Amino acid sequence: MRPKHLSRPKIVAGNWKLNGDRAFVDDYLATFKRSLKQLKLKQGQNLSVLLIPPAIFLPLLSERVKQELNLQSQLSVQLAAQNVAAYASGAYTGEVSASMLNDFSCRWCLVGHSERRALFGESDQVVVEKIAQLLVVGIRPILCLGETLEQREQGQAETCVRDQLQAVLDAFDESALANLVLAYEPVWAIGTGKTASPEQAQAMHQFIRSVLKEKFPVLADSMPILYGGSVNAQNAKELFEQIDIDGALVGGASLKAEEFLEICARCLSQAE
Ligand code: PGA
């Protein structure tokens, strides 16, 4: 039997944040298509590659990814959204609902990214409401968790991550969370070029799995936990070697299609 960590699905997700324009999408897809040919999946390998563009590019990308990438490769590239409304519909100017995302082939969505928590006041309660909206239409939430530098220096890293996770675990039952994915992203490592060491990341991933186990023992072994925070083609291999790291949420390095695919290749070679 394969060890449990090898049989968990692997996911590499590229969060474009507020970057890109039409010309960028053209260049990106052209490079992606060229480089994709080098990525070969072996029998039994399970890697999801997610592109997370600004919402306005989702319709365009959903068509083009289907036509230009997925028809030509055994690897399935899927779309994720960076954000979703906490409401189904109504007078909420500027928001995009889960069912609208679903209409445009968006299968995944980030929730609780530290930039949304810090800059847009997204509380644990709002995170729970957004996850509830996604679950109604069957979009897989990627719940981001992570402590600030100050919290880490004060020895509060685990408490912070536990509280963020617990808010969600307390709001749903085990079957509702079967499709949840977690992403541990220490705030001090995001966009700073300062990655958590593989040991620091592994320790927190193991801790997250132990918190999951207290409430939902079955989910604890099967739920993918991604690492995020200055992941690039150089540091990805060592991170993916850690037993509780099942992939990556990549920001800056995902804007370069070639480098992003190199990170995907590192993840695949680890999944062998
Ligand atoms: P980064 O961003 O890779 O640029 O640090 C990661 C993220 O915010 O998801």
Per-residue pLDDT at 194: 85
DSSP 252: G
Per-residue pLDDT at 3: 57
Q: Where are the alpha helices (DSSP H) in 72-123?
A: 98-103, 114-119
Q: Within the chain, which residues score under 70 in pLDDT? A: 1-6, 71-72, 272
Whole-model pTM: value is 0.95
Which residues does 244 contact at the CB level (< 8 Å), separation at least 6? 5, 202, 205, 206, 208, 209, 225
Tokens representing residue 137 in the block: 């239409």
Per-residue pLDDT at 88: 98
Per-residue pLDDT at 272: 61
Per-residue pLDDT at 1: 44
d(CA 172, CA 129): 11
- Nearest atom of ligand 1 to the alpha carbon of 229: 5
Most ligand 1 atoms within 8 A of CB, residue of 15, 144, 254 to mutate: 15
Q: Is residue 5 flagged as an active site residue?
A: no
Per-residue pLDDT at 7: 80
Q: Is residue 258 flagged as an active site residue?
A: no
Read off the pLDDT of residues 173-194 as tens digits, 9 standing for 90 and up: 999 999 999 999 999 999 888 8
